Chain A
Amino acid sequence: MENSKSIAGEEQIIQDLLPRKFKNSGKILVYILSAFCLVGIYAYYRQLRYGLIVTHMRDYVSWGIYISNFVFFVAISLVGSLITAVFRLAGVKWGSPLTRIAEMIAVAAIIFASIIIIVDMGSPERFYNLFLYGRIQSPIIWDVIVITTYFFISILLLYYPLLPDLQILLRFKEKSGPRLHKFYSYLGSFWKGSHKQYLLSKKAINALCIAIIPVAFTIHTVTSWLFATTYRPGWDSTNFGAYFIAGAFLVGAGAVVVAMYIFRKWYGLEKYITLDHFDKMGRVLVLLCLLYLYFNVNEFLTPFFKMKESEAGYLNDMFSGSFAPVFWFAIFTGIILPIIILLFKKGRKPLPMFIVGIMVVVGAWFKRYLIVTPTLLHPFMPMHDVPASYHHYFPSWEEWAITMGSLAGAILIIVALCRVFPIIPIQETINEHHETAK
């Protein structure tokens, strides 16, 4: 009797978690995202044809919105290691329904981090020179190596836990259709769920979880060193690696919260992504906000206290000058308000959490912009005889279009992955169901 109940429960889980075809709203979202991508591709075509002159990057601001976006993507990709690896190794069981979402976000973000850095280069046909003539002493080379490694680990960490789910998906040929069935078959028809296979897979996932943490820390530390190894106001900091990692965990967790809410609503996953998940993610988020706030205080208070002449222009511009609205928006919207909201239990309900998640992600994007642009506008050694327009930077429409296109592209990858694969690991949920039943 109990056994038949368990099988019925198992079938229910499978039916609930199988990937589904998009409804009209889903299709509209795909069209809108595709339109953004196409405009971005056209803008990139213009950049390739006419050169980087179509951007508003000049001698002062030579790293503009592209590099801000790159740092944002690298930051958000770190969530894969937080939810999958840190939670798994720390024995946090409640996080398992979120692992697939986190990995999908990580893969999408790291793909676009790589793309956007090539966009910033201006001449992609010269990319191979980085490998031919790159210096191992340069953080740029470290970044290239570590991004490639992280991408590979993220793909493996998405793939290994998928194997048992692929076996389940292959049972539903009518639902998935011939094309997807063929794809599933190619990816995982060999998985039979034997004990030996299970042991090998478990061992591999554990190895990946251990490997991804130092690589994830390295990827963002190295990205921070791209700045910190350059002698400029605002970047000349020993705090940068830890400051970047804290910010990356925060934005990644914020993105997961946003995705949790949307997928829960879209697919009716209230049974699997529960209020408890939101409450616990809220606690994680508030902890990360507090940590990031601490690093921000460290990063800005000591230079503000000293107010060195060479850094005064940059600091005043951030605190009370032309960048002040963006700076205080990023601090309040991305850190302080989330802390205040999330400290209350009501603030950790799905809708407030969703809003907080968006605030954190948007605030984080502007924070990356502030890390790059104001510093470049205030070098220690000002340039002589440059046109007045070089002293200001506002991205051109091509830069905005490419940036928006890349953000849309990353979301499109996540949407495509959730159309093809289960958002919540089916086999893991079944296993947990059995454990709870016992």
Chain B
Amino acid sequence: MKLLNKILFGSLSLLFLLPGYNAFAQTADKGSVSVAVSYFNANNKIPYVVVKVKTKVNGKFQNVGGIPLKLSLNKDSEGTLIGKVVTNEQGEATAIIPQSLKKEWSSTVKHTFIAAFAGNAKYDSTSTSLTVSKAKILIDTTSSRSVVATVMELKDTTWTPVKGVDVVLAIRRLGSDLNINETATFATDSTGKASGDFKRDSIPGDLKGNITLVAKVLDNDTYGNLFIEKKVHWGSKFVSKANDFNARTLFATRAKAPVWLMVIATGIIIGVWTVLILLVQNILKIKKLGNEA
């Protein structure tokens, strides 16, 4: 009896301990994520923020999708909510500053973006913030084919040129941007201007020879990401090469079979089947001869 009690007691203790162990194990398995916030202003229009969530697996960073985040402007409250987003497969999510925050946006020259993750079964909660100063970028060109970018910061109510900001001057291409010459970045001077000579004379443009120039401030600690575009007539006209997309080829559709193939194939088919039909007719002739006999 004593032994039975011991076994029963031991079993019950194990039974109660198991859930506890399980819960403990779950806590220990939880990972942590890092959230990065970036600010963007394209062509001095509606600004937006991009958040990127990563985690470290075996010493390497991996993007984390499906993470819900709450984005706020200046303070974490319902009234300053930019939006609630969920990261995609690349671990990214984007939110534009909504119209409802116009008053908050205009009230100050510096803004803080707060991204908060409440945590889930796999990852602990975390939050991060980014503070940027309001700035804008302008682009202009000269008759001697130079590109001039101007970076200005909003101080109180005045746009003031900023010195020492690295600007990328480039041409928009299909895959990525191509710098206008061999220099990677141009620093702004005391007038807030950075200029570079356009050295891509023979670059193909659209049908009229238009290309798109772009001036970019990338990942600046104070101003975030700013860029502005301008279309110029500096490229060579795009001449579409003759292609056989709609021509009669062996790889075209049924209706676009090469004429020579159709003639040869049809000729052979008609030739052979005419002989065969004649041979069937020959049987009928033999039959007729037999019936007459």
Query: Interface on A for B, CB 8 Å cutoff?
Result: 133-137, 142, 145, 149, 152-153, 156, 159-160, 163, 189-192, 194, 196-197, 200-201, 203-204, 207-208, 211, 215
Query: Interface on B for A, CB 8 Å cutoff?
Result: 250-254, 257-258, 261-262, 265, 269, 272-273, 275-276, 279-280, 282-283, 285-287, 289-291, 293
Residue of A nearest to B254 (CB): A135
B258 touches A137 (CB 8 A): yes
Contacts of A215 in B (CB 8 A): 272
A137, A149, A204: the one within 8 Å of B251 (CB): A137
Known contacts A133-B254, A137-B257, A190-B291; decide if A149 and B262 are in contact (CB<8 Å): no
Contacts of A152 in B (CB 8 A): 276
Contacts of B252 in A (CB 8 A): 137
Contacts of A153 in B (CB 8 A): 276
A contacts with B: majority SS: helix
A136 touches B254 (CB 8 A): yes
Contacts of A200 in B (CB 8 A): 282, 285-286, 289
A134 touches B275 (CB 8 A): no
Complex Cα–Cα for A23 and B262 (A): 54
Q: A137-B252, A149-B273 are in contact. List 20 more A-B contacts (CB 8 A).
A: A133-B254, A135-B254, A135-B257, A136-B257, A136-B265, A137-B251, A145-B269, A149-B269, A152-B276, A153-B276, A156-B276, A156-B279, A163-B286, A190-B286, A190-B287, A190-B291, A191-B286, A197-B286, A200-B286, A204-B283
Complex Cα–Cα for A75 and B253 (A): 31
B293 to chain A, nearest CB (A): 5
Complex Cα–Cα for A189 and B287 (A): 9
Contacts of A163 in B (CB 8 A): 286
Known contacts A190-B287, A194-B289, A201-B286; decide if A207 and B275 are in contact (CB<8 Å): yes
Contacts of A149 in B (CB 8 A): 269, 272-273, 276
B290 touches A192 (CB 8 A): yes
Contacts of B250 in A (CB 8 A): 137
A160 to chain B, nearest CB (A): 8
Residue of A nearest to B262 (CB): A136
B257 touches A190 (CB 8 A): no
Complex Cα–Cα for A375 and B122 (A): 45
Complex Cα–Cα for A153 and B293 (A): 28
Contacts of B280 in A (CB 8 A): 156
A136, A189, A211: the one within 8 Å of B261 (CB): A136
Complex Cα–Cα for A197 and B198 (A): 92
Residue of B nearest to A156 (CB): B279
Residue of A nearest to B264 (CB): A136
Complex Cα–Cα for A134 and B253 (A): 9
Residue of A nearest to B253 (CB): A135
Residue of B nearest to A210 (CB): B275
A136, A142, A192, A211: the one within 8 Å of B275 (CB): A211
Complex Cα–Cα for A213 and B251 (A): 30
B122 to chain A, nearest CB (A): 23
Contacts of B282 in A (CB 8 A): 200, 203-204
Complex Cα–Cα for A270 and B293 (A): 38
Residue of A nearest to B275 (CB): A211
A208 touches B279 (CB 8 A): yes
A14 to chain B, nearest CB (A): 21
B292 to chain A, nearest CB (A): 9
Closest 3 pairs between A and B when the two form their complex, measured CB to CB: A190-B290, A190-B287, A135-B254
B254 touches A134 (CB 8 A): yes
Residue of B nearest to A191 (CB): B290
B285 to chain A, nearest CB (A): 6
Residue of B nearest to A229 (CB): B250
Contacts of B286 in A (CB 8 A): 163, 190-191, 197, 200-201
B260 to chain A, nearest CB (A): 11
Contacts of A133 in B (CB 8 A): 254
Complex Cα–Cα for A286 and B262 (A): 41
Complex Cα–Cα for A190 and B273 (A): 25
B214 to chain A, nearest CB (A): 34
Contacts of B262 in A (CB 8 A): 136
Contacts of A196 in B (CB 8 A): 289
Contacts of B251 in A (CB 8 A): 137
B254 touches A207 (CB 8 A): no
Residue of B nearest to A211 (CB): B275
A137 touches B279 (CB 8 A): no
Contacts of A194 in B (CB 8 A): 289-290, 293
Residue of B nearest to A218 (CB): B268
